[in-house]
Structure 1
Amino acid sequence: MQRHGKYSLRPIQQNDLPTLLAWRNSERISSEMLTTHKITWEEHQAWFDRIRQHNPMRNFVFCYEERAIGYIGFSDWDEENSRCSSGSYLGDLNDIPIDAGLFLDYMGLDYIFSETKINKVWSYVFEHNKRAYKLNLLLGYQDEGYLRQHFFQNGELRDVHLIGMLRSEWQTEKARIDRLYGGIEE
């Protein structure tokens, strides 16, 4: 679907499901999710059956040199208000460039703003996840609020940042990132 140098973004396929489930249930990734219970194979398969019906596509595997290394998805799809939320993670951290996280979200944002009618992408980032928060600000997300004790996770009430990006802001941020790193290849 989209390429940037050695990176690509493609729709999820049935044979990706075991890898995605292992990533999602890993402590490193599940500890940053709003829902932290271990996902069963049945739940995972039901999720895949639902998402592959979406038009436009909203869930993708992120690859480096054709090897799956991450995931990005868009949920809370609200066509009436032209907005959705995003979530992403790098599942395989072995032998990947330091800019992989940047291009995972860059390519996801470029897809959503160029291939859909969505005007706003928003997300929650846990306050303790400073690396993800800084990456989102680097991409051009705006901090839209700090929500204290907003989610109960792992036995604690957690603070989150609410971040957002508008279609009109993405054009400016995309141009800035393109000047630094080069653009998306179709």
Structure 2
Amino acid sequence: MIKNLLNGSKIELAAFKDADLTYLEKWYNDIYFLRNFDMIPAFPRSSQELNFTLKNLRESNDKFMFSINSIENGKIIGITGFENILWNNGTATIYIGIGDKNYIGCGIGNEALHLTLEFGFEELNLHKIQLTVLSYNKPAIRLYEKSGFKKEGTYREFIYRDGTRYDMYLYGILRSEWEATIK
């Protein structure tokens, strides 16, 4: 039997649609979301700027982006995907962001991460998936470690926010390590 890699019990991963751009624009104007999702300065982005970014993503062969949709109501609640895919090495960088605050802390991130990892390892046939996370994002660090990611390094005092320097951690998970977590 062929499993549906993109469906979980609470969410499904789907193609990012133009109608979803409204939500992405809202999240890219939410400083809290941006400071946990990205390393660049948290400045607001217009739908026009984001549309250009999405166009480049869709034309790329080393990036994938999914919307995270609630199965209950079909609403987009976040984004996940891969970037910097090196096909010859079987490696990629994963990202995940829950933009709808009503869905934070209820297992959505865990399920979205699991589905994205499953897609990466089983459909894209990746060998290693990596990520970066800022040291102040404790909930994300707990999620990654619980999912089997191993801390591989630290960029010390990498980012400056609100008068304080924070480290950026590098995490990775090998296909064999991921397979051990799902048995």
Consecutive unaligned residues in structure 1, runs of 5 or more = 176-186
What secondary structure is seen at the aligned counterpart in 2 of 1:25?
A: coil
Consecutive unaligned residues in structure 2, runs of 5 or more = none
Give the share of equivalent positions with the same residue, in percent. 25
Q: Find runs of 4+ consecutive structure 1 residues off by over 3 angstroms.
A: 54-57, 151-157
What residue number does 1:183 align with? none
Q: How far is the alpha carbon of 1:96 from its aligned partner? A: 6.8
Equivalent pairs counted in the alignment come to 175
**Are 1:60 and 1:73, in contact at CA under 8 Å, matched by a contact in 2?**
yes
**Are 2:98 and 2:104, in contact at CA under 8 Å, matched by a contact in 1?**
no
CA RMSD of aligned residues (A): 2.1
- Which has the higher relative contact order, 1 or 2, with Cα contacts under 8 A spaced 6 or more apart? 1
Question: Structure 1 length as normaliser, TM-score?
Answer: 0.84
What residue number does 1:37 align with? 43
Q: Give matches, 1:2-41, under 5 Å.
A: 2-32=6-36, 33-35=38-40, 36-41=42-47
Tell me, in whole angstroms, the C-alpha distance in 2 between the residues paired with 1:58 and 1:165.
18
Q: How far is the alpha carbon of 1:99 from its aligned partner? A: 1.0
Q: Give matches, 1:1-186, under 5 Å.
A: 2-32=6-36, 33-35=38-40, 36-55=42-61, 58-64=64-70, 65=72, 66-94=74-102, 98-153=106-161, 156-175=164-183
Deviation string, structure 1 residues 63-107 (Cα, Å, up to 9, x no partner): 122221111021122223221111111111326771111001111
What secondary structure is seen at the aligned counterpart in 1 of 2:39?
A: coil
